[in-house]
Structure 1
Amino acid sequence: MSLRTSRSARSGQYLALLCYLVFLAFPFLWLISTAFKPATEIGSLHPTWIPHHPTLGNFRQAFDEQPLLRAAANSLIAALSAGLIAVVVATPMAYVMARHRGKISTAATGWVVISQAFPFVLVIIPLFLVLKNLHLIDSLVGLILVYVVWALPFALWMLVGYVRAVPVELEEAAAVDGATRLRTLVSVTAPLLAPGIVATALFAFITAWNEFFFALVLLKTPEKQTLPVVLTHFLGAEGVADLGPLAAAAFLATLPSLVIFAIIQRHITSGMLAGAVKS
Structure 2
Amino acid sequence: MSGVRTGPRARGPARAGQYLALLGYLAFLAFPFLWLVSTAFKPARELASLHPAWIPDEPTLANFRQAFGEQPLLGAAANSLVAAASAALIAVVVATPMAYVTARRRGRLSAAAGAWVVVSQAFPFVLVIIPLFLVLKNLHLINTLSGLVMVYVVWSLPFALWMLMGYVRAVPAELEEAAAVDGAGRLRTLLSVTAPLLAPGIAATALFAFITAWNEFFFALVLLKTPEKQTLPVVLTHFLGAEGVADLGPLAAAAFLATLPSLVVFALIQKWITGGMLAGAVKS
Query: Is the shorter-chain TM-score for this pair beyond 0.5, marking a shared fold?
Result: yes
1:216 corresponds to: 221
Q: Is 2:211 the partner of 1:206?
A: yes
CA deviation after TM superposition for structure 1 residue 170, in Å: 0.5
> For residues 152-175 of structure 1, what are the alpha-carbon distances to aligned partners after superposition, in whole Å with 9 as ceiling and x for unaligned?
011101000000000111000000
**Cα RMSD between the aligned structures?**
1.1
Q: Is 2:97 the partner of 1:129?
A: no
1:271 corresponds to: 276
Q: After TM superposition, list the pairs within 5 Å mapping 1:104-115 onto structure 2.
A: 104-115=109-120
1:234 corresponds to: 239
**Which consecutive segments of 4 or more residues in structure 1 shift more than 3 A?**
273-279
CA deviation after TM superposition for structure 1 residue 278, in Å: 5.7
1:176 to 181, 196, 202: 181
1:90 corresponds to: 95
Which moved further from structure 2: 268-277 or 127-136?
268-277
- 2: CA distance between counterparts of 1:74 and 1:41? 33
2:80 to 63, 71, 75: 75
- 2: CA distance between counterparts of 1:51 and 1:201? 37
Contact 1:192–1:273 (CA<8 Å) still a contact in 2? no
- 2: CA distance between counterparts of 1:131 and 1:236? 31
CA deviation after TM superposition for structure 1 residue 147, in Å: 0.3
Which moved further from structure 2: 61-70 or 5-14?
5-14
SS of 1:271's equivalent in the other structure is helix
| Equivalent residue pairs, number | 279
1:185 corresponds to: 190
2:254 to 237, 241, 249: 249
- In structure 1, runs of 5+ residues without a counterpart are none
- The one-letter amino acid of 2:239's match is F
SS of 2:122's equivalent in the other structure is coil
Q: After TM superposition, list the pairs within 5 Å mapping 1:143-154 onto structure 2.
A: 143-154=148-159
- The one-letter amino acid of 1:50's match is I
- 2: CA distance between counterparts of 1:8 and 1:124? 52
Contact 1:138–1:218 (CA<8 Å) still a contact in 2? yes
- The one-letter amino acid of 2:183's match is G
2:40 to 17, 35, 38: 35
Contact 1:38–1:55 (CA<8 Å) still a contact in 2? yes
1:162 to 126, 149, 167: 167
> For residues 35-64 of structure 1, what are the alpha-carbon distances to aligned partners after superposition, in whole Å with 9 as ceiling and x for unaligned?
000001011011100000100000000000
CA deviation after TM superposition for structure 1 residue 272, in Å: 2.3
CA deviation after TM superposition for structure 1 residue 275, in Å: 5.3
2:55 corresponds to: 50
1:138 corresponds to: 143
Contact 1:190–1:275 (CA<8 Å) still a contact in 2? no
- 1: CA distance between counterparts of 2:214 and 2:101? 29
> For residues 183-226 of structure 1, what are the alpha-carbon distances to aligned partners after superposition, in whole Å with 9 as ceiling and x for unaligned?
00000000000000000000000000000000000000110000
1:261 corresponds to: 266
- In structure 2, runs of 5+ residues without a counterpart are 1-5
Q: Taking structure 2 as the reference length, what is the TM-score of the superposition?
A: 0.96
- 2: CA distance between counterparts of 1:240 and 1:76? 28
